Structure 1
Amino acid sequence: MKRIILFITLIGIPVCLFGQKKFVADKYFKDFSYVKAAELYEEVVAGGDATPETLYKLGDCYYNNSESEKAAKWYELALKKDKKYDKRPEYVYKYIQTQRSLGNYENANDWLKIFNDITENDSRSEQLQGNLTNYFNEYAKTEGIYVKTVNLSVNTPDYDFGAYAVGNTLYYSSGQDNSKKYSWNNQPFLDIYQAQITKNNDSVSIGHIEALKAKKINTIYHEANIAISNDGKTLYFTRNNVSKANRLKADHKGISHLKLYKASLVDGIWQDIEELPFNSSQYSVGHPALSPDGKTLYIVSDKKGGFGQTDIYSVAIHEDGSYGKPENLGKHINTEGREMFPFVAKDSTLYFSSDGYLGLGLLDIYKSGILRGSTTAPENMGAPYNSPEDDFSFFINDDLKTGYLASNRQGGKGDDDIYFYGTYSCKQKVEGIVRNANTQLPLEAEVSVFDSTGKLIAKVNSNKEGYYSIKLDCDKQFTIKGSKPDYRDALAEIGTTKENDRVNTVNLELIPLIDKNQIVLNPIFFNFDKWNIRADAQYELEHIVNVMKNHPQMVIKIESHTDSRGSDRYNMKLSQRRADATREYILSRGIEPARIESSIGYGESQLLNECADGVKCSEAKHQENRRSYFYIVNYD
């Protein structure tokens, strides 16, 4: 990120060729011409001057132009050579930032401990208390984060950022058509553009791109970062400090600071440009944002008296159109670093970018409820909003689900690109085949899905091939049930993961209840020497009831058996009581008496195993013999 957001721009003052390259390099560095300064510093280092001071400045050249890999190289060399780096915590912090930008989180954590040891009363150090282990890895996780980012078609090889949507119009800043370049990094100056938005299901398409419809807003210097009032009639924007003759104006050091301006919409054209009263030629003011009620303007400034390099301030907008005094948002937002790009959402959540918190990349996007009275520390938005590079100029639509951000992350089209983002519901597909458990043939069946509370949430039917599919939410527990008349229900538990669009396979095998001339159940067991119907037996007998209700003409007969314990005569009577109890239960469920031809007890005359009289057997073995059968006599 190497443009206006770094917040100071130099007038092109001629530089003479000095005898010593380091003196010339220092001059370019002081003038913020980092590309040229880096070129000269590298020659100085190659010539033998590799002092920590020179290496730190060389690292700064690349750091200030967001070239993390090169910056890390020179900072690392400087810290190795510098025996007193504990007196330079700012460079330790910059090195940490380059390491997290490159994804070297383990090394970043090691240096965070050093930074923590050498600093006192530093808000960045205070953030580390009890939170050093895998600090950055937590921010890089995307598991369970369901946000899609799309690189917009408006992006160019130059800088594109500062998206601001109003209705179907997207406003943004770009250097695409400006041939005049500035010395910071030899890139074009910025102008404000507008384009038409067409909304799609999960993205947007952009068309009809043109320069802002305005009189004298875009100049040959920087214009960027806008905010528009709720009535659509006032535009706030950032610009270099320029004279009426459209020439850069500078302070005594030759620095052209940034200023805030406003324009009014007249007949569809932005015009009547006014400079805001709290600007100064001695410091920068920019990055406007408005509160939802339009009564407060939020700005960024590097004026003296702040907490860090740039801070966020609030400015009251009075009913008569005048402005109050800028008020610093305080230590709950501002740090020793750079807080920039404020944006206030419809719900009064403050979004901003900062490199003063220990986040994922260089500039990271944060959100805070401070405008709603919260004093909780700002929350890092994490991946994929943030990356190891610069992430900034966050904008969220009134739906609080979609919006735009800018980033120079890898994979973009240019130095900075605009990305559309949108939250979505994470879904996973559950599919499978329903089969007959005995024959393995496919079944057309009903497949129901229940959530962890037992609530039915979906129902589908398998086709002739037995196939079914259904979409379920991520990271939840479900029960899948297959059902078909004359079959025992099949149940399967499944837990979806946090991975969107994952496919889970759950096959279901339904056991048929009718097999030839018999209704087949799990054994109907009785307690020893008892004939009352147990609860587990009632559950099984309900299958008999269901089958008979499905087939109104069906007639059955019941057989009941005992184990060998007790006399033959006693067991014969006991089995008859059990057969009769089974019959009575079925009749109690609405089945007509004529549909049960008989209920006969056979005592111990038809044992299933070796547990005859006098044979020592376990209770489980004896229970195998205490059973009932249900034979179909007539079947429609």
Structure 2
Amino acid sequence: MVFPETSRKYSISGTLLSLGIFIMVSFVSPSVSYGQSRRIAAAEEAFNNFQYNVAVNRYKKAYSKTKSRPEKDRISFQMAECYRMMNNTKRAEVTYRRIIKSDFARRNPLVYLHYANMLRANEKYEDAKDYYSLYIENAPDDPRGTNGLRSCELASEWIENPTKFTVTNVKKINSKSDDFAATYADKFFNALIFTSTREGSTGKGLDDWTGQNFSDLFLTRQDRKGEWSEPALADAEGRINTSGNEGAPAFNDNFTTLYYTRCGNAEDSASNCQILVVKRSGRGWGEPQVLNLGKDTAVTNGHPAISSDELTLIFSSDRKNGQGGKDLWIATRKSTSDEFNKPLNLGAVVNTPGDEVFPFLKNDTVLYFSSNGHPGLGGLDIFKSVRRGDEWTVPVNMEVPVNSSADDFAMIFQPGEEQGFMTSNRKGGRGGDDIYSFINPPLVFTLQGTVKDDRTLQFVPLATVRLVGSDGSSVDAKTDPKGFYSFSKSQIKPNVTYELTVLKDNYFNKKARETTVGLEKNKDFVIDFLLEPIPEKPVVLPDILYDLAKWDLKPQYQDSLQGLIKTLLENETVVVELASHTDARDTEERNDILSQRRAESVVNYLIDRGIDPERLVAKGYGERVPRVLAKDVRKDGFLFKTGIRLTETFIDSLGTTAEKEAAHALNRRTEFRVLSKDFVPKPKNKEITQKVEIKINPEDNIVAIEVGRGNAVTIPVIVNGYNVKIMLDRDDRGLIFSLPEAQKLLQSGAITKDDFVGDANVILAEGSIADRAVFKIREFKIGPKTVSNVEASVSHKITEGVIMGESTINMLGRFKIDEANKQLIFN
């Protein structure tokens, strides 16, 4: 059946009006004969009394006698509704198809929705998309159309990428009838009470809704070998099971009290569903009592889920002021001897215009339930929501294989375990609804890789690979003769972030990071390492070059130090010398001072990036150590071969001035070499205060500017390491970036979302930057002057460039502008 329940009256529709589905009111056309009108009236009466099995047969007879095409279409729709309510999705699909292109469907677009639902239930997702789209055109405000369309799109993805759950039909329990909604029945969790319409049930006759027996509660036990006994009625005294429908049971934690649903009976098929509670009495049962959940006797209540202290009840009901269809409601009480307070709706996050049924509480905070209103594969799908305070999180579909295109519902967990039982009428079962066991096996992660010498690409044996987890775990592994290391599934755990460090004498340490946080599938991680040997000779840092007679570290060369910074951070016991060299021009004394200042400028930059000053030695060698090229180098178009020593004599022998300048530039370099490997790192929380002092060349207080038409002044500025030309704003409106200029900074990485003041998701929406957005500049530099945390704004009115007033420049110090000489001079 489409939405199984102890009484089919308490399935998806209860009363179809609760879903907003129109019910065709029977009428007799003047052209319809008296005998025909009686047949139609009898069919309508059975339909309105939820006797769908009876109604569909009566509609068939009426259809065969009807000649009017509009009336045939109306009867076809009613027949399709009967099949849908009986969960005969294939016949429902065929019957809806009969009228899908008729005037009846165009006047009643819900035909498109129901037809699409049947196509989806029958795994015809592409066809279903067309009719969901057609329904959306006719009913754009109904979320069921968009949810259905989204469901079809998700279905293929979920089918191709199943979760790690395993789901198995419990054939020993199931019959050819409906078997569903099981609950654990004892503290050993080897007994189940479940709902079934199998032979041997108490009720007499057949349920006119489904044409099956009335449902009862049955009991089965599992022996030591794991075999289930033949199910039998849960009570021999007839107190729980009656001539009506019983089912959807739930025990309290100590298995002394049973909550369950009772609906309808053979004599009174219009009776509503109620939740009953009954206590164990010896080996039998006491007298069931109806749970008082309000004065409205016209509503249907069912599917109880009780908290561990029995003070909170979540159940399904079609009562007023819900979201539509069957909703989940919550009721609380102060003690088990009190009645429950007025139920409250769980709200629009959990409930939908469709149906939410069969709740189950895990650890009192995790809610599992079934719904046909949230995006799913078809029919009822199982969802999960977590309670956060008084709110519930957005339900998450349990995906394949827990869910299928059929009905999947009534999921229960064994306490403390990731296993339990659920119900489905998917393909391959024994009957209609079958009980399935499931297990969510623990996630399995492994980590392995190789360690090689970066210089030779040969394996490094006996290297230590240290694994430190965010959970406090720490374990070491050694590489074998082929450089291989591994960590087993017992060492790599779910929801942990790991830092790996590779250590080997005479090599720089290497680090990597990996995480299992958020992963829901098994994974074998592979991380390979290339270890760099600690060199005996100094290593020239790439692209650390200087202008003639200058020592300041240019912003465009700061990136060249990132590799060294990473090496120093990964090797906290290493002490290095930063050696700078000049070319041979000027006096030796002046070159010694210049090279010392160059070395100190690099050291100072490293300290600003968090490197302990005690690990850094600045040394200026002046012109005394000409560079010897370890490899071919091309500079400014000139090739200098391996082994050349760039002495003053060699450079003077070169043919052109340009070639000589290129050679001199190669001598103006900074190198590093390892002095020791036994430095003891300071505690992480100890402040590092030592700083290398660098004397400022007085000429550096002068910044060249541009003066254009109308005395427009443009000043070169470095914003977070990026060069930007900014126009002086005589009106001093602050520091304002045009949208294009701000976007350049954002795209280049000079600023990030974290630099904006306010909600970055709003400020940076739709690939742009909001007008008047404010952001912080971490490092704002003009010439030698630097200031931090400068506030700037974005203006859509400025079409290009950047402007700033004198107040911004004053943040860096007192200054004057000499327009005649095109200079900004700091005092």
TM over 0.5: yes
Any idea what the Cα deviations from partners look like across 1:38-95, whole Å, max 9, x if unmatched?
7994997899998323432343343223343442233233221x21325434433322
Partner of 1:446: 464
1:466 — aligned with what? 483
Higher relative contact order, chain-length normalized (CA < 8 Å, sep 6+): 1
1:286 to 1:624, Cα distance in 2 relative to 1, 3 A: same
* Secondary structure in structure 2 of the residue aligned to 1:464: coil
Equivalent in the alignment of 2:5: 4
State the partner residue of 2:92.
Answer: 71
Aligned to 2:281: 266
Distance 1:109 1:191 in 2: 39
Pair 382,629 (structure 1): closer, same or farther in 2 beyond 3 Å: closer
> Is the contact between residue 160 and residue 172 of structure 1 (CA under 8 Å) also seen in structure 2?
no
CA, structure 1 residues 78+131, in 2 after alignment: closer, same or farther (shift >3 Å)?
closer
For structure 1, which runs of at least 5 residues remain unmatched after alignment?
10-18, 243-247, 551-557, 591-598
Contact persistence 1:144–1:498 (CA under 8 A) = no
Give the letter for the 1:7 counterpart. R
Give the alignment of 1:99-138 within 5 angstroms.
99-104=119-124, 108=128, 110-116=130-136, 118-119=138-139, 125-127=141-143, 134=150, 136-138=152-154
Measure the CA separation in 1 of the matches of 2:388 and 2:342: 16
Identical counterparts, % of pairs: 21
CA distance in 2, matches of 1:71, 1:542: 66
| Residue in structure 1 matching 2:183, options 161, 164, 168 | 164
SS at match of 1:393: strand
List per-residue Cα deviations over 1:539-572 (Å, max 9, x = no partner).
Answer: 979999x99x99xxxxxxx9x99787438x959x
Q: Report how many residues are paired.
A: 576
Q: Is this contact kept in 2: 1:191–1:218, CA < 8 A?
A: yes
Structure 2 unmatched ranges of 5 or more: 11-34, 604-612, 616-620, 631-639, 676-827
Equivalent residue, structure 1, for 2:261: 238
Indicate if the aligned counterparts of 1:309 and 1:338 stay in contact, CA closer than 8 A: yes
User: Following the alignment from structure 1 to structure 2, what is the Cα–Cα distance between the partners of residues 541 and 8?
Assistant: 71
Change (3 A) 1:72 1:38: farther
Measure the CA separation in 2 of the matches of 1:368 and 1:540: 48
Maintained 8 Å contact 2:174/2:430: yes
Partner Cα distance (1:303, 1:422) in 2? 35
| TM-score, normalised by the number of residues in structure 2 | 0.53
AA aligned opposite 1:355: N
Alignment check: 8 A CA contact 2:540 2:671 kept: no
SS at 1:66 equivalent: coil
* 1:290 paired residue number: 306
CA contact (8 A) 1:241 1:281 kept: no
Contact kept in structure 2, 1:428 and 1:501, CA below 8 Å? yes
AA partner of residue 441 (structure 1): Q
Give the one of 344, 364, 376 matched to 2:381: 364
* Paired position in structure 1 for 2:433: 416
- Letter matched to residue 111 of structure 2: Y
* Whole-angstrom distance in 2 between the partners of 1:101 and 1:589: 70
Map 1:197-346 onto structure 2 (within 5 A): 211=232, 214-215=235-236, 216=238, 217-218=240-241, 222-230=245-253, 232-239=255-262, 241=264, 248-251=266-269, 258=273, 260-274=275-289, 285-295=301-311, 297=313, 299-300=315-316, 310=326, 329=345, 332=348, 337-346=354-363
Post-superposition shift, 1:433? 1.6
Question: 1:290 corresponds to which letter in structure 2?
Answer: I
Contact 2:180 2:410 (C-alpha < 8 Å) held by counterparts:
yes
> Which amino acid in structure 1 is aligned with residue 9 of structure 2?
I
SS of the residue corresponding to residue 63 of structure 1 reads helix
Find the aligned partners of 1:538 and 1:310 in 2 and give their Cα distance. 61
Q: For 2:67 and 2:384, how far apart are their aligned partners in 1?
A: 47
In 1: Cα distance, 2:235 partner to 2:444 partner: 45
In the aligned structure 1, how far is the partner of 2:134 from the partner of 2:566?
Answer: 71
Structure-1 separation of matches of 2:580 and 2:336: 98
Q: Secondary structure at the match of 1:442?
A: coil
Stretch of structure 1 that moved more, 274-283 or 441-450: 274-283
Shift, 1:486, TM fit: 1.0
The alpha-carbon distance between structure 1 residues 240 and 561, as it changes in their structure 2 partners (threshold 3 A), is closer
Shift of 1:344: 4.4
Task: Quote the residue 1:150 is aligned against.
Answer: 167
Q: Which amino acid aligns with 2:268?
A: A
Contact 1:513–1:520 under 8 Å retained in 2: no
* CA distance in structure 1 between the partners assigned to 2:341 and 2:624 by the alignment: 101
Residue 192 in structure 1 maps to residue 217 in structure 2: yes
Distance 1:533 1:487 in 2: 32
2:104 to 73, 78, 84: 84
Question: Hey, what does 1:14 align to over in structure 2?
Answer: none
Report the 3-state secondary structure (helix = DSSP H, G, I; strand = E; otherwise coil) of the residue aligned with 1:487.
coil
Q: 3-state SS of the aligned residue for 1:92?
A: helix
> How far apart are the structure 1 equivalents of 2:500 and 2:67?
73
Aligned partner (choices 349, 367, 372) of residue 355 of structure 1: 372
Q: Return the alpha-carbon distance in structure 2 between the equivalents of residues 42 and 57 of structure 1.
A: 13
